[in-house]
Amino acid sequence: MSSDKTIILITGCAGWLASLLIHTLLADPDTPNCHLILADVVQPTSPVGAPAIAFKADLTDTAEIEKLFTTEFGVPDIVYALHGIMSRGAEDNFDLGLKVNIDSVRMLLDAARHYGEAAGKLIKFIFTSSLAVYGGPLPEVVTPNTIATPESAYGMAKLASELAINEYSRRGLVDGRVLRLPTIVVRPGPPAAATSAFLSGIIREPLKGTSAVCPIGTSPTDPKLDALHTWLASPHTTVSNLVHASHIPASRFLRHTRVVCLPGFTASVRELLDALAEVAGPEALELVRFEDDAVSRKIVGSWPARFDDAYARELGFVGDEGGMVPIVRRFKEDVEAGRA
Ligand SMILES: NC(=O)c1ccc[n+]([C@@H]2O[C@H](COP(=O)([O-])OP(=O)(O)OC[C@H]3O[C@@H](n4cnc5c(N)ncnc54)[C@H](O)[C@@H]3O)[C@@H](O)[C@H]2O)c1
State in Å: Cα 136 to ligand 1 middle: 25
CA angle 151/152/153 to nearest 5° reads 135
Residues in the chain where the model's pLDDT stays below 70: 1-3, 193
What is the reported pTM? 0.96
CB 238 within 8 A of CB 262: yes
Q: What pLDDT sits at residue 1?
A: 53
Pocket (CB within 6 angstroms of ligand 1)? 11-12, 14-18, 40-42, 58-60, 82-86, 100, 104, 128, 130, 181, 183-184, 192
The closest alpha carbon to 199, from 219, 210, 213, 217, belongs to: 213
Task: Please give the C-alpha separations between residue 97 and each of 88, 103, 154, 155, 194, in angstroms, as whole numbers.
Answer: 10, 9, 7, 10, 13
CB 219 within 8 A of CB 226: no
CB 250 within 8 A of CB 298: no
Q: Note the CATH architecture for domain 6-181+234-261.
A: 3-Layer(aba) Sandwich (3.40)
Q: What pLDDT sits at residue 301?
A: 85
Q: What pLDDT sits at residue 300?
A: 84
CA distance 129 to 107: 17
CA distance 272 to 185: 10
Q: Which residue owns the Cα nearest ligand 1 atom 27?
A: 84
Task: Please give the C-alpha separations between residue 59 and each of 31, 40, 56, 228, 309, in angstroms, as whole numbers.
Answer: 26, 8, 9, 37, 32
Which class in CATH covers the domain with range 197-232+265-305+320-336?
Answer: alpha beta
Neighbouring C-alpha atoms within 13 Å toward the C-beta of 84: 28
State in Å: Cα 244 to ligand 1 middle: 19
Task: Please give the C-alpha separations between residue 156 and each of 78, 98, 256, 259, 309, in angstroms, as whole numbers.
Answer: 25, 9, 20, 15, 22
State in Å: Cα 277 to ligand 1 middle: 30
CA distance 51 to 31: 13
**Domain ranges, ordered by start, for the chain:** 6-181+234-261, 197-232+265-305+320-336
Position 273: which residue type?
L
